Structure 1
Amino acid sequence: MPARKRAFPGRRMSELLTALALMLAIEGLGFAAFPGVMQRALKDASEMPEKTLRLLGFVAAGAGVVLVWASRGFPAFNLL
């Protein structure tokens, strides 16, 4: 039985790699432009309770999912 061809082969992996590259670029710019601020932010984060970090992580992940959904799937944003 022949394998089914996907509509966009490799597109999903390409988008994932693009997203990871953008994340690294933005973080890298933060460290390059404001090393002291980033160092203090990491120190502050290391002193936060695990519960707080977990909550902030879930909030950030949720915001990211909503932004991706809004930019790609929400009909009102597709009018632009």
Structure 2
Amino acid sequence: MSTLLLALGLVMIIEGLAYALAPSLIERMLEALRALPESAVRQLGLLIVVSGFILVWFATQLGAGLG
């Protein structure tokens, strides 16, 4: 449970920094996403999820340990 909370906290920090340091960039990215068809946004989301799983797997292989 502590690992999950740590991961969630890190995501919140990174997201918050993006909004705090580059709000106009976030707005432009959201506009670009709105222009894409729904299937492309769904594929992008799936790609990000798979990339996240690969990063977590790689980190555990390097000894980060989840638990």
Q: Report TM bin, short chain.
A: 0.7 to 0.9
Unaligned 5+ segments in structure 1 are 1-12
Structure with bigger helix share is 2
Unaligned 5+ segments in structure 2 are none
Give TM-score scaled by structure 1 length. Answer: 0.72
Misfit runs of 4+, over 4 Å: none
Identify which of structures 1 and 2 has the higher relative contact order when contacts are C-alpha pairs closer than 8 Å and 6+ apart.
2
Give TM-score scaled by structure 2 length. Answer: 0.84
- Give aligned-pair identity as a percent: 38
Whether 2:22 is the aligned partner of 1:22: answer no
Larger radius of gyration: 1
The CA distance in 2 between the partners of 1:46 and 1:25, in whole Å, is: 25
Paired residues in the alignment total 63
CA-based RMSD:
1.1
The CA distance in 2 between the partners of 1:17 and 1:53, in whole Å, is: 27
